[in-house]
């Protein structure tokens, strides 16, 4: 790969690394490709936001595009990218056929963020008050769309080992189409804990999460109604600060200073907020992927209490940096114990460092990703030849998406 290669990223939204883990993940991907000499254009049909990152500071070209418009065809044909990265399957549905039509040789990569069908099926089971089963995925409408998108692409980036297993075993996806890529951070040494606020210099419990994400709103609601009363009963001085971007009115209504339950809104600096807290609480009841807030807690030396869904695929076979507990009464007890026991708290910090260093090292994955992309660039024809189901979808079922888009385009004229 001697000459400079062009990467086009088509974003669901403009990256907001301070608002969500998804924004941070996108900036990690940009960094990997930038460091490997790619010329990057980031395009999105989303509106600009006050909190979006200035892409020009990272040497990335920003391009606003339109949905259901042939103007995208002209843009992508002129750019003629070597690699196109779709940010979530909905973006591949919308723009994938246009990329295939205008730039058939471009490598198509899907960043799933997390498996939307897993999150949706779990949420549905939760609302119907039943236990989620993996077989639920097979009847999930979103699964049909998401799996079709994965099959149409040359490579899909999967953030969770649990989701890799689901795709290979439940959906029978060929492993050659999947690449495991968790959140990526730098190695952390135990001595770095001495540079962080000490046990006695920290106070309060904290939760942090983007409220546009349904599992976060549900978590805070559950904290307020089911967990916090048990914590306050045994620890009357306890205070919980809830931070998060885009809080709705129903979130703000949970603010209750007399009960030590504070809705703080957007954090100016999420890292600083978590570093000053003593314990992170995240009783997540449904969701998918990896939880950025829990990895961030480990980096800040802040132990956490979460659920089995929250810790899923996050710590390999290592001890959690705190506790994993699904029962609200036990969750409250463990939260208080972690908050008050300094030795346990310090051991939990060390557990967090071990998880970071074993599971999330940039050096373990970044080079492998670029090697895989180079391999695809060199031999895309052979790779695609062996992806028969993907070719089938490109040939038949996919046309419905194309004609629907063309119909909207014609209607708009």
Of 331, 359, 387, the last residue of a domain is: 359
In a domain, 151, yes or no: yes
Q: How far apart are CA 47 and CA 11, in angstroms?
A: 11
pLDDT digits (tens, 9 = 90+) for 131-156: 999 999 999 999 999 999 999 999 99
Do both 406 and 311 map to the same domain? no
Residue 128: which CATH number? Answer: 3.40.50.2000
- Percentage of the chain surpassing pLDDT 90? 91
Domain count, the chain: 2
Do both 322 and 401 map to the same domain? no
Do both 128 and 197 map to the same domain? no
Do both 173 and 233 map to the same domain? no
HSE-CB for 162 with a 13 A CA cutoff: 18
Q: What number is the average pLDDT over the span 28-56? A: 97
CB proximity list for 106: less than 8 A, separation 6 or greater: 8, 80, 81, 82, 83, 84, 99
Do both 336 and 388 map to the same domain? no
Do both 159 and 302 map to the same domain? no
In a domain, 38, yes or no: yes
pLDDT confidence band for 413 (50 / 70 / 90): confident
pLDDT at 2: 63
Strands of 322-324's sheet in order across = 261-265, 240-243, 205-208, 279-282, 304-306, 322-324
Confidence (pTM): 0.93
Do both 204 and 265 map to the same domain? yes
Do both 87 and 39 map to the same domain? yes
Of 322, 342, 359, the last residue of a domain is: 359
In a domain, 303, yes or no: yes
Q: What number is the average pLDDT over the span 34-62? A: 97
Q: What number is the average pLDDT over the span 9-15? A: 97
In a domain, 330, yes or no: yes
pLDDT at 230: 98
Do both 169 and 208 map to the same domain? no
Do both 21 and 71 map to the same domain? yes
pLDDT digits (tens, 9 = 90+) for 245-289: 999 999 999 999 999 999 999 999 999 999 999 999 999 999 999
How big is the chain, counted in residues?
A: 413
The residue with tokens 């695809």 is 376
Q: Name the phi and psi angles at 9, rounded to 5.
A: -105, 125
Other Cβ atoms closer than 10 A to 127: 10
> Is residue 1 scored above 60 in pLDDT?
no
Do both 266 and 223 map to the same domain? yes
The residue with tokens 């595009």 is 65
In a domain, 82, yes or no: yes
Residue range(s) defining the domain that contains residue 72: 6-184+361-412
| Three-state SS sequence of the chain | CCCCCEEEEEECCCCCCCCCHHHHHHHHHHHHHHHCCCEEEEEECCCCCCCCCCHHHHCCEEEECCCCCHHHHHHHHHHCCCEEEEECHHHHHHHHHHHHHHCCCCEEEEECCCCHHHHHHHHHHHHCCCCCCHHHHHHCHHHHHHHHHHHHCCEEEECCHHHHHHHHHHCCCCHHHEEECCCCECCCCHHHHHHCCCHHHCCCEEEECCCCCHHHHHHHHHHHHHHHHHHHHHCCCCCEEEECCCCCHHHHCCCEHHHCEEEEECCCCHHHHHHHCCEEEECCCCCCCCCHHHHHHHHCCCCEEECHHHHCCCCCCCCCCEEECCCHHHHHHHHHHHHHCHHHHHHHHHHHHHHHHHHCEHHHHHHHHHHHHHHHHHHHHHHHHCCHHHHHHHHCCCHHHHHHHHHHHHHHC
pLDDT at 391: 84
Strands of 61-64's sheet in order across = 61-64, 39-44, 6-11, 83-87, 107-111, 155-158, 178-180
Dihedral over alpha carbons 148, 150, 152, 156 (to 10 degrees): 180
In a domain, 51, yes or no: yes
pLDDT at 80: 98
In a domain, 171, yes or no: yes
Q: How far apart are CA 79 and CA 76, in angstroms?
A: 5
pLDDT confidence band for 393 (50 / 70 / 90): confident
Q: Name the phi and psi angles at 244, rounded to 5.
A: 170, 145
CA distance readout (Å), 231 to 2, 239, 411:
60, 10, 57
Of 359, 386, 402, the last residue of a domain is: 359
Q: Mean pLDDT of all residues in the chain? A: 95
Q: What number is the average pLDDT over the span 24-35? A: 97
In a domain, 1, yes or no: no
> Is residue 306 scored above 70 in pLDDT?
yes
Do both 161 and 296 map to the same domain? no
């Amino acid at each position: 790969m001697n000459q400079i290669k062009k990467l086009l990223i088509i974003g669901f939204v403009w990256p907001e690394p301070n608002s969500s883990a998804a924004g941070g993940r996108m900036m990690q991907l940009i960094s990997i490709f930038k460091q490997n000499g790619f010329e990057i254009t980031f395009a999105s049909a989303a509106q600009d936001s006050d909190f979006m990152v200035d892409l020009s500071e990272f040497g990335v070209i920003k391009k606003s595009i339109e949905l259901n418009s042939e103007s995208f065809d002209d843009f992508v044909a002129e750019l003629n990218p070597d690699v196109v990265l779709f940010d979530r399957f909905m973006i591949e549905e919308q723009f994938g056929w246009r990329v295939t039509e205008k730039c058939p040789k471009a490598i198509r990569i899907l960043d799933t963020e997390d498996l939307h069908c897993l999150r949706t099926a779990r949420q549905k089971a939760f609302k119907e008050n039943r236990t989620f089963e993996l077989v639920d995925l097979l009847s999930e409408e979103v699964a049909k769309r998401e799996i079709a998108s994965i099959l149409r692409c040359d490579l899909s980036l999967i953030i969770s080992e649990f989701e890799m297993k689901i795709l290979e075993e439940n959906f029978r996806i060929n492993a050659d189409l999947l690449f495991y890529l968790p959140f990526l951070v730098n190695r952390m040494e135990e001595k770095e804990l001495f540079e962080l606020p000490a046990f006695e210099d920290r106070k309060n419990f904290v939760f942090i999460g983007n409220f546009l994400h349904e599992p976060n709103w549900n978590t805070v609601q559950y904290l307020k109604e089911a967990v916090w009363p048990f914590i306050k009963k045994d620890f009357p001085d306890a205070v919980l600060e809830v931070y998060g971007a885009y809080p709705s009115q129903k979130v703000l209504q949970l603010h209750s200073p007399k009960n030590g339950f504070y809705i703080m809104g957007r954090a100016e600096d999420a890292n600083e907020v978590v570093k000053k807290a003593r314990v992170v609480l995240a009783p997540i009841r449904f969701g998918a992927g990896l939880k950025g807030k829990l990895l961030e807690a480990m980096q800040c030396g802040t132990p956490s209490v979460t659920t089995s869904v929250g810790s899923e695929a996050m710590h390999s076979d290592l001890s959690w940096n705190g506790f994993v507990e699904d029962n609200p009464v036990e969750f409250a007890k463990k939260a208080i114990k972690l908050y008050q026991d300094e030795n346990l708290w310090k051991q939990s910090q060390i557990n967090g460092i071990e998880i970071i260093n074993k599971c999330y090292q940039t050096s373990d994955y970044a080079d492998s990703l670029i090697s895989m992309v180079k391999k695809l660039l060199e031999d895309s024809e052979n790779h695609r030849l062996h992806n028969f189901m993907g070719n089938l979808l490109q040939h038949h079922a996919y046309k419905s998406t194309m004609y629907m888009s063309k119909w909207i385009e014609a209607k708009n004229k």
